[in-house]
Chains A and B, each alone.
Chain A
Amino acid sequence: MSETPAAIEVSALCKRYGDYEAVRGIDITVQRGEVFGLLGPNGAGKTTTVEILEGYRARTSGEVSVLGQDPANRSIELRRRIGIVLQSGGIYSHITPREALRHWASFYPHPRDVEEVLDLAGLREKADVRSRRLSGGQLRRLDFALALVGDPELIFLDEPTTGFDPEARRAAWETVRSLRELGKTILLTTHYLEEAQALADRVAIVKDGRILAIGPPRELGVGAAHYRVVYRGRDGELVELQTDDPTRLLHELAGEALERGESLQELSVARPTLEDVYLELTADA
């Protein structure tokens, strides 16, 4: 490892809104080229933290460095090197993705090729459609495209796939992975466990403005949370099984039931939730 400074360094970060403490002492370091995830439920302080790093909000106390600079200074030089995907950011209704990208590209000293970004974001077919006619998923892809067109070193993704269907989520994940391969540093927030597992090199689990645990997803007990399969058995009792491989378990259960000429009453499959992880984390403590 060379001596290049970390992309993001945060220590003892606090943010207070009146009496409410949104962030209560967060410490994180994100290395260059790393994909770092902030995982937590709504209201955990993820967005507040990210918006302090992006330069939108002033911190109450603590030290923050983004690419070696204090984002509170809002220097144009820093903003040329970062790309931001907001949790919800609008775009002009009456221009097309291609026009928006051309305009955004003009803000940056070394922008990426607009056509290339249209392809990367999967907007080729909608390049000349006015944004008011784009679907929610297409607008989200435009969010990505606008954040990437300046060819930033560091990219903030605030809940990039909330509201996506599974297919769109996979596509977004592919985009994030391709950015990682380009050597970009990425800070993403999410409340989806699988998203953090699928994308992040390291994850900080945030709740109530504090970090509960930090590390690679597998080592956090995140991997130890299981799918829960529940059904009503022949004796009328609810049966609950835990598994890492719900496909196989369901195949076996369903096969057995069909052989007996029965059905699995009240069958449900639940993904591991953040709550499960919190329970495990707090149970271990």
Chain B
Amino acid sequence: MPETLALSWRQYRLERRMFWRNPSAAFFNFVLPLLFLAAGGAILSGSQRDLNKLVPAIAGMSVMSTTFTALAYNIVFLRERGVLKRIRGTPLPTISYFGGVAANAVTNTALQIVIVVAAGRLIFGIGWPPHVATLIVFVLVGVVCFAALGVAFAHAIPNFESTAAYVNAVFLPVVFVSFYVFDSSSAPGFVRTIADALPLTPLIEGLSSAMVAGAHTPSHLDALAVIGLWGVFGLYFAVRGFSWEQSRT
């Protein structure tokens, strides 16, 4: 067991090193959400109410992009390039490999949340998060859920060239519908029903209650239950459907 952990740690360090050496990964993880934040902030700068909505929404999107998007890209790339197959032929325990990969995603998410929270405090005047423990719980549950969904989704992507299309076909609609419902109390009923059943809306609502003093707080348990169910669904297919090599057809 200590050896498994030590190998996880080594894999984690390798993942970190590779992350910082890959400018496009760093861009997608850090710069893109900040650009959204800046653009949204410029448009909504007149209204503190809107800014209070914007910052947690971007935080939720960041959780999804640093886990779901990043992992789906990464897994498909490594699978199609034959890196996963090579790793599979070594004595590196599967759990150590995924431990390192998951820890890498958690680190990226944590860094991203820190950046968004700091930007919220320093630029958009929404104060430090009043409920740090709630923030940590939602970020962690969100990471597990979206990381599992990202790994599971990688299985549906047939080749690296189509990864962007597949990932965006899920990422963009989920982000739009969740932002819309989170922001607008006049969203049509069926849209709200769909959004509430997806994991991003409850995540954003949970983050909002943790990050913004006096934010309307829906039931945390309901929110965590929805995210958790998606997480279980994702984990099941991540493990069951995982493929270590390019399909032979």
Residue numbers of A with Cβ under 8 A of B are 54-56, 76, 79-80, 84, 86, 88-95, 99, 103-104, 106-108, 130, 146, 150
B interface majority secondary structure: helix
- A89 touching B83 in the complex, CB below 8 Å, given contacts A94-B21, A94-B22, A106-B7: yes
Task: Tell me which residues across on chain B come within 8 A of A104, comparing CB atoms.
Answer: 90
Residue numbers of B with Cβ under 8 A of A are 7, 10-11, 14, 17-18, 21-22, 78, 81-83, 85-86, 88-93, 245
Known A-B contacts: A84-B86, A90-B78. Give 10 more (CB < 8 A): A54-B89, A56-B89, A86-B82, A86-B86, A88-B82, A94-B17, A95-B18, A95-B21, A106-B10, A107-B7
Task: Tell me which residues across on chain A come within 8 A of B86, comparing CB atoms.
Answer: 84, 86, 89-91, 146
Q: What are 27 A-to-B residue pairs whose CB atoms are below 8 Å?
A: A56-B85, A56-B245, A76-B91, A79-B90, A84-B89, A86-B85, A86-B86, A86-B89, A89-B82, A89-B85, A89-B86, A90-B81, A90-B82, A90-B86, A91-B83, A92-B18, A92-B83, A94-B18, A94-B21, A94-B22, A95-B14, A99-B14, A99-B17, A103-B14, A104-B90, A107-B7, A107-B92
Q: Contact between B89 and A79 (Cβ–Cβ < 8 Å)? A: yes
Q: How far is the CB of B101 from chain A (nearest CB, A)?
A: 12
Q: How far is the CB of A92 from chain B (nearest CB, A)?
A: 6
Q: How far is the CB of A234 from chain B (nearest CB, A)?
A: 53
A279 to B214, CA, bound (A): 85
Q: How far is the CB of A132 from chain B (nearest CB, A)?
A: 10
- A80 touching B91 in the complex, CB below 8 Å, given contacts A86-B82, A86-B85, A90-B83: yes
**A156 to chain B: closest residue by CB:** B89
A91 to B81, CA, bound (A): 7
Q: How far is the CB of B41 from chain A (nearest CB, A)?
A: 33
- Most B-side CB within 10 Å, residue of A56, A80, A130: A56
A108 to B17, CA, bound (A): 22
Q: Contact between A103 and B10 (Cβ–Cβ < 8 Å)? A: yes
Task: Tell me which residues across on chain A come within 8 A of B14, comparing CB atoms.
Answer: 92, 95, 99, 103
A99 to B22, CA, bound (A): 16
**A84 to chain B: closest residue by CB:** B89
- Most B-side CB within 10 Å, residue of A95, A104, A106: A106
Task: Tell me which residues across on chain B come within 8 A of A107, comparing CB atoms.
Answer: 7, 90-92
- A76 touching B93 in the complex, CB below 8 Å, given contacts A89-B86, A90-B86, A91-B86: yes
A55 to B94, CA, bound (A): 14
